[in-house]
Structure 1
Amino acid sequence: MIVTAAAIFFPILKILGIAMVQFGLMDAKLAPLMSWIGKFAMADIFLLSLYVLIFKGMGVGEVRVGWGMYLFTFCVVASIVISALTEKLLKAKAA
């Protein structure tokens, strides 16, 4: 259940929260909460790298990088960039 929450629910909550802040539907004071949720959303990346390390290290199977890994990496990087831009925008509005 923890992996499901970290891989599915936390990233969705983070993206929806950032979108709501961007469109003015949520108070900017809740932006630190999105940052906190984002830390849990990174757990799936840790698990993915751990699985690759275990399978390659033990020689149990073969690990191939396919298009899904590149798409996943793009989505993670896009989420990080959008979060950083949102924080910058909120700091500019506060000043």
Structure 2
Amino acid sequence: MNLSLLVLFPVAWMAPLVRAGLLPIFGMSEISVLSGLTSLWETDRFLASVVALFALLAPLVKTICLAMIHFGRLSPRALPVLGWMGKLAMADVFLIALYITVIKSLGVGRVETAWGLYMFTACIFLSLWISLWTKGKFDAGAVGCAPARSRQG
């Protein structure tokens, strides 16, 4: 299930998060994580880099590191750091929701949530759940195909 996120995250990044239009007479344009990052890169490269770090890089690194833990290639001591990475990725979903709320309250344009927002949110929640499940399994003694490790020296 964890490795499926390596496919699902990129799909969510390309999927439309919101449909936005200035006025009802103009068409609606779809905004994805990648199109938003491209637009942001043109105006504020630092902010675009921060968003890319938390929306793109952090979830991928976390997913890969969790897989490495499951296959016994990385110590479970990395789990607290991976938990924080997941929480920072969840901050992106919060910010998108906040932006939608602000734009809707201005009353100037129209904003509709699209399926990509739900998919991106589901990927983040699935990643968080896998982290908690992994932590619980290591606290209980073993995970998947990784052998339980003894702390005896």
TM-score above 0.5, yes or no = yes
What is the deviation of 1:31?
1.3
Q: Per-residue CA shift, 1:36-71, capped at 9, x if unaligned?
A: 222222221121111111111111321112221221
Instruction: Indicate the structure with greater helix content.
Output: 1
Could you tell me the TM-score, scaled by structure 2's length? 0.56
- Name the counterpart of 1:30: 78
Match of 2:70, as an amino acid?
Q
Larger Rg: 2
What is the deviation of 1:86?
0.6
Structure 1's consecutive aligned runs of 4 or more residues displaced over 3 angstroms after TM superposition are: none
1:62-73 equivalences under 5 Å are 62-73=110-121
Could you tell me the TM-score, scaled by structure 1's length? 0.86
RMSD of Structure 2 on Structure 1 (CA): 1.5
Instruction: Indicate the structure with greater strand content.
Output: 2
Could you list the runs of 5+ residues in structure 2 that have no partner in the other structure?
Answer: 1-48, 143-153
Could you list the runs of 5+ residues in structure 1 that have no partner in the other structure?
Answer: none
- Name the counterpart of 1:13: 61
Q: Higher RCO, 1 or 2 (CA under 8 Å, sep at least 6)?
A: 2
What number of residue pairs does the alignment pair up? 94
Identity %: 39
C-alpha distance in 2, partners of 1:36/1:68?
23
User: Aligned to 1:60, what secondary structure does the other structure show?
Assistant: coil
